[in-house]
Amino acid sequence: MLELLRLFTQIALLRRGPQDIPASPVLLGLTVLGYFAVNALVSLVLPPIPGAWLPQLGVEMLFMLAWYALLLRVAKRPERFLQTATAMFGYQLVLSPLLIASSWLIQRFPQDSVWLFPVLIIALVLAVWLIAAGGHVLKAALELTLAASVGLFILQIVAGQLALFVLFTPPTS
């Protein structure tokens, strides 16, 4: 287990890629479960932010699985799904606590706080890191340029956020 976390950390640091992960449905399932557990634990430890985070996390995870299954099928590389999806969930499992904590801090500091700017900078660095690592994984999986891979990863983020918005924003009347 510790070796697997090291591998996911190496992927997050852009030193390894999805090709270094065994193609195993069990490993993908365990990684998705670990991603869920880490996100749920961090969300439970921090004081609550308004919203239904648990169903949103479930939708986010299902969306990611569907997105990569479809993307790899369209790219005619469906055999790479297990490794790619495992890598995506795995490196995000490593970065999730930092991302959730920075998001929580941004919402907690008032706009006139001296701490808001450094927290925003940290959140921006984490977002760029998340995108760079996602692009790195997709570049290896799809054999595209880094720019195209980063673009596809950003498209996944935007499409996923749009899906969450549509599903979880109450209608206004």
pTM of the model: 0.89
Domain encompassing residue 71? 2-168
Q: Structurally, how many domains does the chain consist of? A: 1
26-74-158 Cα angle (round to 5): 80
Interatomic CA distance for residues 93 and 37, integer angstroms: 9
How far is the CA of 173 from the CAs of 51, 129, 139, 170, in angstroms? 20, 40, 44, 10
User: What mean pLDDT do residues 50-79 have?
Assistant: 92
pLDDT for the residue 146:
96
Q: Is the pLDDT of residue 17 over 90?
A: yes
Question: Is 48 among the domain residues?
Answer: yes
- CA–CA gap between residue 112 and residue 1 (Å, rounded): 43
Average of pLDDT values for 105-124? 85
* Residue 23 pLDDT: 95
Question: Does 173 map to a domain?
Answer: no
The answer to whether position 10 is within a domain reads yes
Residue 52 covered by a domain:
yes
Say if 126 falls within a structural domain: yes
Q: What is the mean pLDDT of residues 56-79?
A: 96
| Mean of per-residue pLDDT scores for the chain | 91
